[in-house]
Structure formats: C-alpha cells, structure tokens
C-alpha cells in the first residue's frame, strides 16, 4: 500500500482485456478487489470469503465478460519517470465497474418506480458498481475522477440515432456516501430495488449476496436499495 505522505499524481485508466499484459493486470485487479472487500465489506454485494477462493485466471474471465468495463485509478509517485505513468506501473488505489450498454428489457426494473428508459436505438444504458478508493487516498477527488472516466467512455456511444446515455447505480440501505457522491455529479433518486435486482444489475446474478446462500423470500423481495440515475443528452 502506498503511503499517503508521499507525493502522487492520480490518473484513471480503463482496464483493457486486449492488453498483451492482461493476465498481469487481472492479478493486480484481484489484489485490489480483495483489499477492498477486506477493508469495506459492507460496500459490496459479494463477500471476501467467496472472492478469495478465486485465482487470477478466474478474475481474468470475469473481466473479459462482454459489456463489462473496469476503471482503475493509479497513484504515480513523483519519483516515477513520466514514461512509466501507465496502468501497469504505480499503486492501484481505486476502481469502479461500468456495465453496459444494456438492452432496455434487461435494464428497466418495471416495479422499481424508476422511469421507463427510451428504446435502445435512441438511448444507451449503463450501470455503475464497485466504486472503491483506498482509505489512504480518500478525499482527493479520486472517486469523482473514476466516475467521470467511466461516463466519458460511455459518451462515445452518442452517435447515429442515439440521443442520450442513461447511467444508474444501486446503493444499499443506510449507505449515504454513494448517493451523496453521485448526487454531486447530477444523479437523482428514482426508485428502489430488491437484492436479486441489485445483484443482477451489478453483474453478479450467480453469486450469493454477501456470501450468504439462504435468504428468506421476504428479504429477497424487499425494495430497500436506492436507485440513482443520470441522463446525458447529446
């Protein structure tokens, strides 16, 4: 872990599955994911107990799924030569995952209270999950930098008949940090989601919520998760 007393510059990168060093990057992603789960377990739908059993190759498969983009913030020490300022060198200290573009019939949760999205030829739809920053580097604008990097990547789909992009995230009950941060970037509260809806939207439909296999039907059907959305018009 990098010391916060050092001087750093921070830059966010998209983790490219086509990189010639992808297996190496997948190993680094596994390390930061497990660090995040051990540091802030309540911030994620998956659990350290299950994720720690996966090898780097399994993380590589997960990262290679279609419509999954992971953005990493790297802290580059002032002493590091500028030509080495890239995703492979420096300390990985933050991440966020963006899922999309997602078809309307999958994205829209009809019973959630969220507004009906436009048809796919008019709008691309994206979902954010897994935002995390190393505690030693918080309050430096890194979360906002990561989110903006993801939004800018999705904005590339504003071509042809596409008129706008829609972004969404789910926040667990009692989580005030994510709604506050995303709210400062223009996201608004539009509805409520269930545990299965949240896990599916986050790309983790096949994983037990927080590592627990058995949840009562009542618990699974409660609409307690907060849905936030933002629309960017071309």
| Domain span holding position 205 | 8-233
Q: Does residue 141 sit within a domain?
A: yes
User: pLDDT per residue over 158-177, tens digit each?
Assistant: 899 999 999 999 998 888 88
Q: For residue 54, count CB atoms less than 10 angstroms from its CB and return exposed for 0-12, middle for 13-18, buried for 19 or more.
A: middle
Specify the pLDDT at position 92: 98
pTM for the model stands at: 0.92
Q: Does residue 194 sit within a domain?
A: yes
Specify the pLDDT at position 19: 95
Q: What is the mean pLDDT of residues 205-233?
A: 91
Q: Does residue 2 sit within a domain?
A: no
Number of domains in the chain: 1
Q: Quote the CA–CA distance of 205 and 149 in Å, as a whole number.
A: 25
Q: Does residue 1 sit within a domain?
A: no
Long-range contacts of 77-80 (CB under 8 A, 24+ apart): 77/2, 77/6, 77/7, 77/8, 78/6, 78/7, 78/8, 78/9
What is the number of other CB atoms lying within 10 angstroms of the CB of residue 110?
8
Specify the pLDDT at position 182: 96
Q: Quote the CA–CA distance of 89 and 75 in Å, as a whole number.
A: 9
Q: If we measure between CA atoms, which residue out of 119, 123, 147 comes closest to residue 228?
A: 147
Q: Does residue 95 sit within a domain?
A: yes
DSSP 117: P
Q: Does residue 3 sit within a domain?
A: no
User: pLDDT per residue over 119-156, tens digit each?
Assistant: 999 999 999 999 999 999 999 999 999 999 999 999 98
Beta-bridged to residue 74, according to DSSP, are: 11, 92
Specify the pLDDT at position 157: 87
Q: Does residue 129 sit within a domain?
A: yes
pLDDT surpassing 70 at residue 3: no
User: pLDDT per residue over 47-76, tens digit each?
Assistant: 999 999 998 899 999 999 999 999 999 999
User: Degrees (nearest 5) of the Cα angle 193, 134, 206?
Assistant: 35
Specify the pLDDT at position 5: 55
Q: For residue 82, count CB atoms less than 10 angstroms from its CB and return exposed for 0-12, middle for 13-18, buried for 19 or more.
A: exposed
Specify the pLDDT at position 2: 54
Asked if 114 and 229 touch (Cβ cutoff 8 Å), the reply is yes
Q: How far is CA 84 from the centre of its chain?
A: 26
Q: Does residue 195 sit within a domain?
A: yes
CATH of residue 173: 3.40.630.30
- Flag the least confident range among 3-7, 175-179, 229-233: 3-7
- Using pLDDT thresholds of 50, 70 and 90, give the confidence band for residue 101: very high
């Amino acid at each position: 872990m990098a010391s916060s007393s050092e001087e750093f510059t921070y830059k966010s990168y998209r983790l490219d599955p086509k990189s010639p060093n992808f297996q190496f990057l997948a190993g680094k992603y596994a390390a930061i994911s497990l660090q995040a789960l051990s540091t802030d377990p309540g911030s994620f739908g998956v659990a350290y107990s299950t994720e720690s059993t996966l090898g780097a190759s399994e993380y590589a498969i997960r990262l290679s799924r279609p419509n999954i983009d992971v953005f990493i913030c790297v802290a580059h020490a002032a002493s590091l030569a500028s030509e080495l300022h890239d995703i492979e060198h420096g300390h990985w200290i933050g991440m966020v995952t963006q899922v999309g573009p997602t078809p309307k019939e999958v994205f829209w949760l009809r019973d959630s209270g969220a507004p009906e999205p436009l048809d796919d030829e008019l709008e691309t739809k994206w979902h954010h999950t897994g935002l995390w920053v190393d505690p030693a580097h918080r309050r430096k604008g890194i979360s906002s930098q990561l989110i903006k990097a993801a939004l800018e990547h999705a904005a590339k789909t504003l071509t042809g008949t596409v008129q706008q992009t829609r972004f969404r995230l789910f926040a667990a009950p009692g989580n005030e940090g994510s709604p506050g941060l995303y709210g400062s970037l223009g996201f608004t509260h539009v509805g409520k989601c269930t545990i299965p809806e949240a896990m599916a939207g986050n790309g983790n439909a096949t994983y037990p919520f927080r590592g627990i296999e058995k949840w009562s039907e009542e618990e699974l059907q409660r609409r307690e998760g907060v849905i936030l959305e933002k629309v960017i018009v071309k």
